[in-house]
Structure 1
Amino acid sequence: MKRLIFILIGLMTFSFSNGQQLEILINEALANNPEIQKFELQYSIASEKVNEVNTIPNTEFGVGYFVSEPETRTGAQRFKISAKQMMPWFGSITARENYVSSLADAKYEDITIAKRKLVASVSQSYYNLYALKTKQRVFDENIALLKTYETLALTSLEVAKASAVDVLRLQMRQNELEQSKQVLVQMYLAEQTTFNKLLNREKSIEIDLVNELIIPLNDALNETENLALHPELTKYDKLFQSVEQSELLNQKDSQPMIGFGLDYVSVSERPNMNFSDNGKDIVMPMVSLSIPIFNKKNKSQTRQNALKQQEITFKKQERENVLETALSKAINNRIAARISNNTQTKNLKQAKDAEEILIKSYETGTIDFNDVLDIQELQLKFQINQIESVKNYYVQSTIINYLTI
């Protein structure tokens, strides 16, 4: 888990001087998230069951009183006390402990899986917050740019080089951008709630985000063969082993049980008689054997265990196919995000060049405010697309890391 967090943070080639370190936030989530705590408690319960099964059957005690005292040669029997202890076949208790331990091992994988998913969820939510906050900043910049153009249009209107329609169109465009920005604000608040609840804290706590995310020059190397060691798959291996232990326990349960006991009978002395053993109590040690002659239950359990192992094998293969598909999709999506980012960078440069041309045109008195709106709209589109491509790059990297680290 520490290696996973380290590599996730290592993907970020920017400075954290102006924002909280994602690693700190992830560690806080791992410490406070109730789902993780739930799985840890389930694992503790499963582990404690080892002590529960490390027992032998209850000792049986019996007391009987002869209402009608039977007469024997040595006297009348008054009451009877008996004790009996059944012992499981050799190795049965160990087999039961091994079975319960194997179930606990499988349950531990749930903790590992939940932690991995939590790290991925916190990281992805962080990137979503970054994208929403950065888009708000871009809208503010574009609104400020349109205000500048509005000032130019008002100046041009005074000298009859622009129409009132140009001014109104610029103002309407500002209204549209302000509306879009307010929508982003609400989306940010919703995502902020999601993020804070992953950390199990108040939804209104502000998140100190980094100022800029930059796609690194080279993608991090991920060993795709590590997919076979993913906890979602190793859990099936643990479940397979638990079925093996279940069958070993089943074989032990099909063996006889040995019982040891002792009966004590109190005998009264016969009156007016004098002979040896008069009134001598009876002590009778006993040995019993419990044999499962009709053991259809154990045979059926053996067949069920064999079928369970086949089911687990197919489930593992199915899950492995799903994870391989998700990994391939994430790798391709990350490549597409890099391509998109490069394209948007080129488009933004060209949009800036077009903007400079428009500014120079204003100096010569030939500015066309229709072109101003077109260029501004394109520039905003490219900026938003670039933010999305950067966010998608890191989101896809998070998915890849979840699957391969």
Structure 2
Amino acid sequence: MYVSVHAQDVNTYIEKAIDNNPEIQKLELRYAISKEKVNEVAVLPNTEFGAGYFVSEPETRTGPQTFKLSAKQMFPWFGTITSKEDYQSSLADVAHQDVVIAKRKLIFKVAQSYYKLYSIKQKENVLTKQIELLNTYETLVLKSLEVNKATAVDALKIQMRKNELEGKQEQLKQNYTAELATFTELLNTEDMLVVSFPEESSIDKEQTPINIDSLQLHPELIKYDKMYESVVQSEIVNNKSKSAMIGVGVDYINVAERTDMNVLDNGKDIFMPMVSVSIPIFNASFKSKSKQHQLAQQEIELAKVERYNFLAARLKKSISDRKASLIKYKTQLKNIEQAKNAETILMSNYENGTLKYQDLLDVQELMLGFELNKVDATLDYHLQTTTINYLSTY
């Protein structure tokens, strides 16, 4: 289950997404089929039955033969059926890893989309507060106009600034609608969702060290181990297939009584138990399969190394990027605090009639930039955390 600062909120949507996701449902059915195939291979070859009628009845001492019945059962060499079961079970293990990987990828996508939505809402809140602040400035300007301590230009600048922020708010609403459509699709629901968010996002400033070597336990890499094992089991089946098969059976021949004379055992039927052996003399195909298995194992090993290198590089980058976002976040907190102090100083001059509205707008613009940068840093922190969780949480 996904773990983060807002795990309870995110997991509510993640659980719904997993329950509704058709791809995961498809892969789970494929896994169920693979497990059922274990029962399919755990059987003996078909029992052979035969029947024949003598059109021209051959004469024997005890009478003419009229018809023949036969039955035969072949038995594979010891351990052959078990090896087939093990091979099919290994294929089922590969199918199970596909389910695990699909769930993990879905968790990653849902969490990232959730935090993008949350970031947009946070930016909307920042703009709303800044517009309210501009309304306060506008009230001050209008009062100053009455006593000729401000100009109409000052009022127009504030109004233009408000127009700009309101336009950005409208853009954010469109961005939210677009991202919400993606989020709704991930949850596989027809209705547009009303997503709930915590009041304020927080960042864990004490980071737990990530051991890159633990990446070996990632499902994407475990899948290669399962694939390798399936090739090993396939080679065992191949070796068993080179062994002989033993067959046992019985023939029954119906003999009619002789009418021309009376002999000992007149009309006595014939029962003939039989044992047969099936030996694959021409085994070139088995040698070819063994060679294919060796090459397949080498391919899987190289593919695993390649995937490990990719995931390791991605994990290292996400760890580094998360540290950078944390630094950016802390910097914005300092800047916001200093901008508030500057605003306080400027506002204290209002009573003295020396308030400079351009300086106030400049500080307000800086404040807005710092607040938005803080939201971006928070978003990047959570996006990198979802990536790290995808790669290193087990």
TM class by shorter-chain length? over 0.9
**Other structure's SS at 1:85 match:** strand
What is the match of residue 400 of structure 1?
Answer: 388
Deviations 1:236-265 (A, max 9, x none): 111111111111110001111111222222
Contact between 1:192 and 1:203, CA under 8 Å: does it hold in 2? no
Aligned partners of 2:218, 2:58: CA distance in 1, in Å?
Answer: 73
Q: Check if 1:199 corresponds to 2:187.
A: yes
Deviation at 1:36, TM superposition (A): 2.9
Q: Check if 1:341 corresponds to 2:329.
A: yes
Counterpart of 1:357, as a letter, is I
Corresponding pairs, count:
393
Q: Check if 1:156 corresponds to 2:140.
A: no
Deviations 1:135-170 (A, max 9, x none): 111111111112222222333334444333333332
Contact between 2:126 and 2:371, CA under 8 Å: does it hold in 1? yes
The answer for unaligned runs of 5 or more in structure 2 is none
Deviation at 1:235, TM superposition (A): 1.4
**Other structure's SS at 2:350 match:** helix
What is the match of residue 301 of structure 1?
Answer: 289
Contact between 1:153 and 1:167, CA under 8 Å: does it hold in 2? yes
What is the match of residue 224 of structure 1?
Answer: 212
Q: Check if 1:311 corresponds to 2:320.
A: no
RMSD: 2.1
TM-score normalized by structure 2?
0.93
Aligned mate of 2:199, from 182, 186, 211: 211
When structure 1 is superposed on structure 2, of 21-30 and 59-68 the one drifting more is 21-30
What is the match of residue 140 of structure 1?
Answer: 128
Deviation at 1:202, TM superposition (A): 4.2
Aligned partners of 1:263, 1:175: CA distance in 2, in Å?
Answer: 100
User: 1:122-137 to 2 correspondence within 5 Å?
Assistant: 122-137=110-125
Contact between 2:77 and 2:243, CA under 8 Å: does it hold in 1? yes
When structure 1 is superposed on structure 2, of 297-306 and 236-245 the one drifting more is 236-245
Aligned partners of 1:238, 1:232: CA distance in 2, in Å?
Answer: 10
Contact between 2:205 and 2:326, CA under 8 Å: does it hold in 1? no
**Other structure's SS at 1:111 match:** helix
What is the match of residue 375 of structure 1?
Answer: 363
User: 1:214-253 to 2 correspondence within 5 Å?
Assistant: 214-253=202-241
Counterpart of 2:296, as a letter, is K
Deviations 1:212-254 (A, max 9, x none): 1122231133333311111111111111111111111100011
User: 1:3-402 to 2 correspondence within 5 Å?
Assistant: 5=2, 8-9=3-4, 11=5, 21-402=9-390
Contact between 2:325 and 2:378, CA under 8 Å: does it hold in 1? yes
TM-score normalized by structure 1?
0.90
Contact between 1:193 and 1:203, CA under 8 Å: does it hold in 2? no
Deviation at 1:21, TM superposition (A): 3.2
**Other structure's SS at 1:122 match:** helix
Q: Which runs of 4+ in 1 moved over 6 A?
A: none
